[in-house]
Amino acid sequence: MRRPRTIGLAALGMAAALALAACGGSSGGGGSSSSSSAGFNAAVTSVVNPSSHKGGTLTFGDSSTPDSTDPGNTYYAFMWNLTRLYTMPLMTYKSCPGKCGLQVVPDLATGPGVVTDNGLTWTYHIQPNIKFEDGTTVTSADVKYAVERTFDRAKLPLGPNYFSLLLAPQKPAYPGPFTDRSKNLMGLKAVTTPNATTVVFQLAHPFADFNYVVAIPQTAPVPPNKDTGTNYQLHPMSTGPYKFSSYQLNKQLTMVPNTFWKASTDPNAKQLASKVTVTWNMNANDIDNRLLAGDLDVDAAGTGVQAAARAKILSSPTLKASSDNPISGFLWFTYINTKVAPLNNVDCRIAVEYAANKTNYQTAYGGPVAGGQIASTVAPPNVIGQKAFDLYEATSKPNGDLAKAKAALKACGKPNGFSTGMAYRSDRPKEVATAQALQASLAQVGIKLSLHGYPSGTYFSNFAGVPNYVHSHNLGLDIGGWAPDWPDGYGFFDFIAAGNTISPAGNTNIEELNDPVVNNLLNKMATTTDATTRNSYTAQIDMQIMKDAAILPGVYAKSLLYRSPNLTNVYVQPYYGMYNYAVLGLK
């Protein structure tokens, strides 16, 4: 999932901020006293400050501008979290802490999709009395229309496009409801609405994860006569606990309670605050300082505080007790390409796995708190079905095992090592540091890396994501990062390990793994509807990828979040890797 950028200029002020942090030391954070700090990481496993107290203004701050507030046109984790305040998609993630929060449960729908027709037909019934903010009742047509909107990649290009990939195609291809509205409004044949409370999806191929797909905000209902296309972001019609009262584009969003929302029909959200404001484009360090001073309630981006605040928090026991260090859901890793010689020999790849210094990898990303936990599996712990295992001693020998590496090199016929290239994103300091660290650690067994940096904007479209380029430039190792669009094994592995996802440009299966075992398991995951069975495949796929040594896991990303003492019902929603915004209230 995409991380929002920090404003570069904030980095300029970091030196000063760090100096001030050193002086500031343990100035206790503002706002209310420490009586409510439940302890470090309390919100990762439990609800902190449970309360039904109503009132107050919930203030969010974000250091960049949103891609869009239109639920059909956004692809950031924190926006998917935030849209829960004003939308109800068909399904959603259960609002509870810990592994409980990884479950996908019905939201607008009355139950999970009913699967028929060998997995090709998914039928959802929606609750009959959900109303939009203007009192009109939500019908299945509104859901169909919302899905239709995602087909117009010219008008709304910013969100995911799963529906155009998964739904049964029609000829000519459905262009979305904006071109030739008279013909194409409700013109998507793959979605039908037999009655006002039923939506039926026809898939092109069986896809067992479809419940996760409809948990994306794109299924939040949109009334066709109230849609304003690219202007819809200015005032989407709310089905959630809050509605837009004013929105100055890219500056300030203000929401007030939606009087037509009922708690009984939406158990995964709460309507506690009497006002919600989101201020965009704030200075990142300013956000942290205001959080600590009690002037701001939540950092909307949810990826953790900046370095200066981190130093302040970790050095102060009071502040640390009000912070959490959850797994954010990313894996930072390095693809080991299976086609570029001599890495086409599995033993040479295994040598890389053993020789790499995982501690340095972690340090390059910022250490155990800011960077993450040393990874031994491809799937991070918050992927459903993930099991911990450690094939290459990543956790037992985090500095690498040079002896085993050398043995592997011998086995692949390169006892003195070999040379290959490594690609990384040159505008990301952490990746620069990682590449250098790997270069140093692999050199110890004779594996010589030549480093090649590329701009992150075109990394996937033009360089590492283009197999021909990778081959011709001998880029045996390529840095990557991955967060799934939904937290199960399929969502995690498909794009990065399935043989059929290798594509000539924008490739995310950069290691070009085409292992029939993995492919087979993924296929089975896609078609098996029984949850237990499907989820058991996660660990198997993981193990196979690691046996193939196609990926060198780096760290399970973690972030340091500051938990404002003003907030009630705070806990980390593990799918988002940040606090659940839909249930927050104020003291």
Partner 1 sequence: MLLPGRNPGRAAAPGIVITFIIRRLVATVFLLIVVSMITFAIFFLIPRLAGQNSYELATQYVGRNPTRAAVLATETKLGLDKPIYVQYGTFLKAIVFGTHYNSGTSTTYCTPPCFGYSFRSQQPVWPQMVSDIPVTLSLAVGAAVLWLVGGVAIGVLSALRRGTFFDRFSMGVALLGVSLPIFFTGLILLELFSYKWPIFPNVTFVPITQNPLLWARNLVLPWICLAFLYAALYARLTRAGMLETMSEDYIRTARAKGLRERKVIFKHGLRAALTPIVTIFGMDLGLLLGGAILTEVTFSLHGLGLFTVEAVQNQDLPEILGVTMLAAFFIVIANMVVDILYAVVDPRVRA
Task: Pick between residue 170 and residue 252 the one whose CB is nearest to partner 1.
Answer: 252
Instruction: Answer yes or no whether residue 231 interacts with partner 1 by CB under 8 A.
Output: yes
Instruction: Answer yes or no whether residue 87 interacts with partner 1 by CB under 8 A.
Output: no
How many Cα neighbours within 13 Å face the side chain of 172?
4
Task: Pick between residue 282 and residue 513 the one whose CB is nearest to partner 1.
Answer: 282
The Cα 76–Cα 483 span in angstroms is 11
Instruction: Answer yes or no whether residue 289 interacts with partner 1 by CB under 8 A.
Output: yes
Minimum CB separation of residue 250 from partner 1 in Å reads: 7
Among positions 26, 32, 228, 416, the unique one binding partner 1 when judged by CB under 8 A: 228
Among positions 36, 37, 49, 68, the unique one binding partner 1 when judged by CB under 8 A: 68
Task: Pick between residue 290 and residue 349 the one whose CB is nearest to partner 1.
Answer: 290
Task: Pick between residue 118 and residue 231 the one whose CB is nearest to partner 1.
Answer: 231
Distance from the Cα of residue 97 to its chain's centroid? 17
- Residue pair 65/279 in contact (Cβ under 8 Å)? The answer is no
Instruction: Answer yes or no whether residue 7 interacts with partner 1 by CB under 8 A.
Output: yes
Burial environment of residue 260 by CB neighbours within 10 A (0 to 12, 13 to 18, 19 or more): middle
The torsion angles phi and psi of 180, rounded to 5 degrees, stand at: 50, 65
Among positions 166, 292, 351, 384, the unique one binding partner 1 when judged by CB under 8 A: 292
Instruction: Answer yes or no whether residue 227 interacts with partner 1 by CB under 8 A.
Output: yes
Of 98, 77, 108, the closest CA to residue 211 belongs to 108
Task: Pick between residue 155 and residue 587 the one whose CB is nearest to partner 1.
Answer: 155
Q: How many residues does the chain have?
A: 587
Beta-ladder partners of 200: 123, 192
Of 565, 575, 585, 587, the closest CA to residue 32 belongs to 565
Burial environment of residue 177 by CB neighbours within 10 A (0 to 12, 13 to 18, 19 or more): buried
Of 10, 96, 123, the closest CA to residue 61 belongs to 10
Can you tell me whether residue 180 is helix, strand or coil?
coil
Instruction: Answer yes or no whether residue 462 interacts with partner 1 by CB under 8 A.
Output: yes
Task: Pick between residue 61 and residue 476 the one whose CB is nearest to partner 1.
Answer: 61
Instruction: Answer yes or no whether residue 502 interacts with partner 1 by CB under 8 A.
Output: no
- Quick count: other Cβ atoms within 10 Å of Cβ 157? 13
- Residue pair 583/269 in contact (Cβ under 8 Å)? The answer is yes
Site string for partner 1, 145-174 (x = CB under 8 A): -------xxxxxxxxxx-------------
The one segment of 65-73, 88-96, 332-340, 528-536 that binds partner 1 by CB under 8 A: 65-73
Instruction: Answer yes or no whether residue 81 interacts with partner 1 by CB under 8 A.
Output: no
Minimum CB separation of residue 460 from partner 1 in Å reads: 8
Minimum CB separation of residue 369 from partner 1 in Å reads: 22
Instruction: Answer yes or no whether residue 181 interacts with partner 1 by CB under 8 A.
Output: yes
The H helix count followed by the E strand count for the chain is: 20, 23
Q: Which of residues 239-258 bind partner 1 (CB under 8 A)?
A: 248-252
Task: Pick between residue 84 and residue 290 the one whose CB is nearest to partner 1.
Answer: 290
Instruction: Answer yes or no whether residue 184 interacts with partner 1 by CB under 8 A.
Output: no
The one segment of 115-123, 289-297, 385-393, 399-407 that binds partner 1 by CB under 8 A: 289-297
Instruction: Answer yes or no whether residue 75 interacts with partner 1 by CB under 8 A.
Output: yes
The one segment of 2-10, 43-51, 204-212, 405-413 that binds partner 1 by CB under 8 A: 2-10
Minimum CB separation of residue 558 from partner 1 in Å reads: 22
Instruction: Answer yes or no whether residue 142 interacts with partner 1 by CB under 8 A.
Output: no
Minimum CB separation of residue 306 from partner 1 in Å reads: 13
Site string for partner 1, 378-407 (x = CB under 8 A): ------------------------------
Q: Which residues contact 279 (CB under 8 A, 6 or more apart)?
A: 59, 60, 61, 62, 251, 252
The Cα 565–Cα 131 span in angstroms is 34
Minimum CB separation of residue 145 from partner 1 in Å reads: 11
Task: Pick between residue 230 and residue 520 the one whose CB is nearest to partner 1.
Answer: 230
DSSP per-residue letters across 216-270: SGGGS---GGG--GGGGGGSPPP-SSEEEEEEETTTEEEEEE-TT--GGG-TT--
Among positions 295, 347, 390, 427, the unique one binding partner 1 when judged by CB under 8 A: 295
Q: Which residues contact 182 (CB under 8 A, 6 or more apart)?
A: none
Of 333, 359, 353, the closest CA to residue 431 belongs to 333
Among positions 223, 229, 367, 446, the unique one binding partner 1 when judged by CB under 8 A: 229
- Token readout for 41 is 């990481």
The Cα 164–Cα 204 span in angstroms is 10
Instruction: Answer yes or no whether residue 307 interacts with partner 1 by CB under 8 A.
Output: no
Number of residues that bind partner 1 (CB under 8 A): 64
Instruction: Answer yes or no whether residue 178 interacts with partner 1 by CB under 8 A.
Output: yes
Instruction: Answer yes or no whether residue 132 interacts with partner 1 by CB under 8 A.
Output: no
Minimum CB separation of residue 489 from partner 1 in Å reads: 21
- Residue pair 358/399 in contact (Cβ under 8 Å)? The answer is yes
Strand residues in 258-349 grouped as ranges (E): 275-279, 298-299, 323-324, 327-336
Instruction: Answer yes or no whether residue 46 interacts with partner 1 by CB under 8 A.
Output: no
Instruction: Answer yes or no whether residue 189 interacts with partner 1 by CB under 8 A.
Output: no
The Cα 518–Cα 509 span in angstroms is 13
Can you tell me whether residue 583 is helix, strand or coil?
helix
Can you tell me whether residue 23 is helix, strand or coil?
helix
Cα 277 to Cα 56, 247, 326, distances in angstroms? 11, 10, 25
The one segment of 38-46, 258-266, 282-290, 417-425 that binds partner 1 by CB under 8 A: 282-290
Minimum CB separation of residue 125 from partner 1 in Å reads: 28
Among positions 84, 144, 290, 425, the unique one binding partner 1 when judged by CB under 8 A: 290
Contact set with partner 1 (CB under 8 A): 2, 5, 7-10, 12-13, 16-17, 20, 24, 27, 30, 61, 64-65, 67-68, 75, 152-161, 177-178, 181, 227-231, 233-234, 248-252, 279, 281-283, 285-287, 289-290, 292-293, 295-296, 457-458, 461-462, 505-506
